[in-house]
Amino acid sequence: AQSVTQLDSQVPVFEEAPVELRCNYSSSVSVYLFWYVQYPNQGLQLLLKYLSGSTLVKGINGFEAEFNKSQTSFHLRKPSVHISDTAEYFCAVSYALPGTYKYIFGTGTRLKVLA
């Protein structure tokens, strides 16, 4: 069965420090991979996505993620975080089933950037 695991429920980090939010998935079929961000009291918005091609994907606000097929991972990174990056981050996987596409979200990682 397909699944998405975000290993850290909370990640505190000091401002201007680098951060990595981890995401692993399991799937027996080809997948598309996404990261969404949810700022306080807001809906989710797309941060970046991997559909095909280069395994290093760049998104908004200086974030990037690397698709690693052998390790079935799609970790999100930022070299220097700001206070405004404080939010909840969701990893998601989309895969094809006959007649439809299934979407699975991880349980989220709360990033807390400290001054």
Q: What region, left, alpha or beta, does residue 55 occupy, with left being phi > 0 and alpha being psi -120 to 50 degrees?
A: alpha
Interacting residue ranges for other proteins, rule: CB under 8 A = 9, 32, 34, 36, 42-46, 49, 51, 90, 92, 94, 100-101, 103, 105-108
Q: Which is nearer to other proteins, 28 or 101 (CB)?
A: 101
The smaller minimum CB distance to other proteins, of residues 61 and 80, is found at: 61
CA distance 32 to 18: 26
Q: Closer CB to other proteins, residue 42 or residue 70?
A: 42
CB of 82 to other proteins, least distance (A): 23
Q: State the minimum distance, in angstroms, from the CB of residue 100 to other proteins.
A: 6
| 91 within 8 A of 33, measured Cβ to Cβ | yes
Minimum CB–partner distance for residue 46 and other proteins (Å): 6
